[in-house]
Amino acid sequence: MLNHFPLIVFFSGLVILLEAEAQPPKSSNETEIDHKVTELLSRMSMEEKVGQMSQVAIDVILKDNSSTQLDPQKLRKAIIEKKVGSILNVKGGAYTLDEWHNILSQIQELATKETPNSIPVLYGIDAIHGSNYIRGGTLFPHNIGMAATRNLDLAGETAHITALETRASGIRWNFDPVLGMGREPLWSRFEETFGEDVYLTSKMGAKMISAYEKDNLNKIDAVASCMKHFIGYSVPGSGKDRTPSYIPERQLREIFLPPFQAAVEAGTSTVMINSGEVNGVPVHASSYFLKTILREELGFEGLAVSDWEDIKRLHTRHKIAATLKEAVKIAVNAGVDMSMIPYDYSFYDYLVELVKEGEVDIARIDEAVGRILKLKIELGLFENAFPEKNSQDNFGEKKYTQVAKQAALESITLLKNESDVLPLSVNKKLLIAGPCANSLPALHGSWSFTWQGDDASRYPESTQTVVEAFENTYGRSNIISRSHSDFDHNDNYDTQGLLEDAALVDAIVLCLGENAYAESPGGIDDLTLDDRQLELAKAAEKTGKPIVLILLQGRPRVIASIEEKMDAILYGYRPGSQGASALVEVVTGRFNPAGRLPFTYPRATGDVLLYDHKFSETISEDIPNLFGKDAYRPQWTFGHGLSYSTFNYSDLKLNKEFIQSENDTIRASVKVTNAGKVGGHHTVELYLRDQYASVTPSNKKLKRFKKIYLEPNATEEVTFSLTKKDLSFVGLNNEWVTEPGEFEVLIADLSSTFNYQE
């Protein structure tokens, strides 16, 4: 709120200092770990220390590109000669549990038996939406779908299962979750984010981190988590992966930092660094980001690892280092603790030289290696570096499939349902068409048994496509489909065939969207869905039959040209291994959809205006000096999501008219009634609007949400509490402030105001 003398409620350095002073003394276990680290460092040679900072891909120790067999000589070079401390990834695709055990056992046998200090290797993997690099592993919806569930407990459960299955393989470090803000839908890693909202991303990320790590990393149900990618990676100016971002300091602190602050508070053990640059400075080279903000302001004490080959790219791409050796010097001195090299030992060789030459201080090496050793101790690797036999029973339990199914069900978002076309009776005859109808990759997306997720042969035989799931429920005789498993196959776009088949059915289920992709290969120039899919939809419209459009895609592809002609639209995101059967349950009405969009769905590719926009962004000027408020017109807004029930809101009440002190709380309560004929889940969302402020306020911001279940005619009163902290923003001096004035609470179509007074 507007005030000429704003009250500063947050100054990062001061807050961290006060928190540090208020912390209790270290536990005996922490003191013991610190002692072990110090003792180990005192025994290690400089070369051993540098080796601990080196991470290579499994490729460099395999016999050949098509094998899961390790080459003994290559392995000895990595562990004995180059003293490598960490290995990552798979070659080709997911390995079986036995293959993982064999690989890790050979690595640890050499590391613990034949190196001077018997330091085990730390193995890392990208288990992004389940144990996606273990054959037969459970795959959940991607983070963008989990955000649509608005179910924190369910998100935590999926992360815990991922930890159990990952640990069962012998791997103890997971490069997840992605905490970049999904505010640039062109970006090819959008599906890995929790969407565009700061509060939702912070809550989801923190919950998953807590579930990954539990209370003790040295347990068979825990893995080290990795908050990534710090910071600003997800909003490249071009929309292309690993390209520059331009983020003003105020926006950086208000939108992009809070999820990482929440992750630190949740106890994340590691951080992975943004591959790109922010405001002209590669993050791998920025002591401001990696020391001042990450360490001093956020208070992060864990391990900082580079992303794939990104130290080299300071020379080859970013052009801030004249040589590869200079790139190593810049990155290590900036605050990178471990280099994901990943295909050679150049980092090791250059860093050894740099230390000998005095260009990198040994104290900096000890700092980095101390963090690495501490994590290895916390993970129990020094006690038992080998795959734990008692963890193997935690792989592939039937209850995991049930959780995957529930996650998929709760993520599915009903965007449109004209004339209550849905649910569809199981007695109807259906045409299932489109490139996503018979595609397993479209259901799963990136990081699904392969990096790109596009190899259907890698998926378990029990995994159903959408066509197969409909056949299982409706019977094969009631399903017609020409759809091919190859996304680009001409049969998937056969408009004439669709017209012929439509004459034989009661309704059309059109499955459109995106094939699987990961990172840079998924780059696009236009959000608009491709022409062949749009033409297929237009052909379906000509039949006059009811059309149910199912969207399976990692980001919102523009469908404005066909949306009006679709009778019902379901957004499935990347629902995972149980996604097809979950979609059928929603279509048939066995499950009442309750997902809510975690992003704004744009109407045009050049008009991506987010829900927390500024007031002036909604203003249009058709002719000089004639203004309107119609510039914000997305296809669907953030938080949109329909149901087969009708939920009515009433009696929004605030328990007081103003708040004053730091610890003062205001409670907002509202009654929610299920006025429909079927029970259903429903998420109640509270937004806050700052009416006037010294920095232009956002239209509104999500501050609280709660998911409830109501039977028909049932009513529940939902209560939220807000504090002074919820009213704050990053002010003129780029510090968090709260200013006196009026605030508006918005829940559904109800609103009420209160004041903050100093």
The type of residue at 625 is N
Q: Does residue 6 register a pLDDT over 70?
A: no
User: Two tokens at 707?
Assistant: 């998911």
613, burial (CB in 10 Å: exposed 0-12, middle 13-18, buried 19+): middle
Q: What is the mean pLDDT of residues 380-385?
A: 98
Q: Are 141 and 574 in contact (CB under 8 A)?
A: yes
Neighbours of 216 (CB within 10 A): 12
- On the question of pLDDT at 13 being above 50, the answer is no
Nearest C-alpha neighbor of 131 from the set 95, 92, 156? 95
Rounded-to-integer distance, Cα 175 and Cα 128, Å: 7
pLDDT above 70 (res 17): no
**Region 703-723 average pLDDT:** 99
3-state secondary structure of 367: helix
**Mean pLDDT (the chain, rounded):** 95
Percentage of the residues of the chain whose pLDDT score is greater than 70: 95
List, by residue number, the catalytic residues.
307
Q: Where are the domains of the chain?
A: 44-394, 412-588, 647-756
User: Has residue 620 got a pLDDT over 90?
Assistant: no
Q: What b-and-e string marks burial along 133-147, b requiring 16 or more CB atoms within 10 Å of the CB?
A: bbbebbbbbbbbbbb
Q: What is the pLDDT of residues 308-339, one digit of tens each?
A: 999 999 999 999 999 999 999 999 999 999 99
Give residue 27's pLDDT band: very low, low, confident or very high (50, 70, 90): low
Question: Which carries the bigger pLDDT value, residue 20 or residue 205?
Answer: 205
Give mean pLDDT, residues 694-717. 99
* pLDDT for position 25: 56
The model's confidence at residue 661, banded by pLDDT at 50, 70 and 90, is confident
* Cross-strand bridge partners of residue 440: none
- Cβ(536)–Cβ(490) below 8 Å: no
What is the average per-residue pLDDT within 414-421?
Answer: 98
> How many whole angstroms separate alpha carbon 59 and alpha carbon 655?
62
Does the pLDDT value for residue 14 go beyond 50?
Answer: no
pLDDT for the residue 619: 86
Residue 16 has pLDDT above 50, yes or no: no
Integer Cα distance of 526 and 134 in angstroms:
34
Per cent of the chain over pLDDT 90 is 92
pLDDT digits (tens, 9 = 90+) for 664-697: 999 999 999 999 999 999 999 999 999 999 999 9
pLDDT at residue number 31: 87
The pLDDT score that the predictor gives to residue 18 is 30
Could you tell me which CATH number the domain at 44-394 has?
3.20.20.300
Asked if residue 2 has pLDDT above 70, the reply is no
| pLDDT value at 457 more than 60 | yes
Conformation bin of residue 33: beta by default, left when phi > 0, alpha when psi is -120 to 50: alpha
* CATH 3.40.50.720 is right for the domain spanning 647-756: no
E-only strand ranges, 350-487? 413-417, 430-433, 479-480
Report residue 380 as tokens: 């129990």
Residue with tokens 């639209």: 569
| pLDDT one-digit tens code per residue, 349-359 | 999 999 999 99
Instruction: Express each pLDDT in 497-531 by its tens digit.
Output: 999 999 999 999 999 999 999 999 999 999 999 99
Please give the structure tokens belonging to residue 592: 């009442």
User: pLDDT band for position 66 (50/70/90)?
Assistant: confident
Element (H, E) at 86: strand 86-88
pLDDT at 627: 62
**Residue 56 pLDDT exceeds 50:** yes
135 phi/psi in degrees, rounded to 5 = -60, 130
Strand-by-strand arrangement of the 270-273 sheet: 226-230, 270-273, 303-305
The string of pLDDT tens digits covering residues 266-316 is: 999 999 999 999 999 999 999 999 999 999 999 999 999 999 999 999 999
Summarize pLDDT for 626-636 with one digit per residue, the tens. 666 778 999 99
pTM over 0.85: yes
Q: List the alpha helices (DSSP H) in 276-323.
A: 287, 313-316
**Strands 430-433 and 507-513, sheet pairing:** parallel
- For domain 412-588, is the CATH number 3.40.50.1700? yes
* Sequence-ordered strand ranges (E) for 574-700: 620-623, 626-628, 647-654, 658-659, 665-674, 680-690
- pLDDT class for 67, splitting at 50, 70, 90? confident
Kindly give the pairing relationship between strand 680-690 and strand 701-710. Answer: antiparallel
What are the residues whose beta carbons fall under 8 Å from the beta carbon of 529, sequence distance 6 or more? 512, 513, 557, 558, 559
Q: How many helices (H) and strands (E) does the chain have?
A: 22, 29
455-485: buried (b, 16+ CB within 10 Å) or exposed (e) per residue?
bbebbeeebbbbbbbbbeebeeebbbbbbbb
Q: Is the pLDDT of residue 15 over 80?
A: no
Structure tokens at 537: 């939809």
The rounded distance, in Å, linking the Cα atoms of 51 and 361 is 16
- Report which residue type is found at 155: A
Query: How far is residue 716's CA from residue 696's CA, in Å, rounded to a whole number?
Result: 36
Strand order in the sheet with 54-57: 173-174, 122-125, 86-88, 54-57, 339-340
pLDDT of residue 520: 96
398: tokens are 């039937």
Mean of pLDDT values over 355-382: 99
Alpha-helical (H) ranges within 194-248 are: 198-213
d(CA 221, CA 211): 9
What is the C-alpha to C-alpha distance for residues 113 and 117, in angstroms, rounded to an integer?
Answer: 9
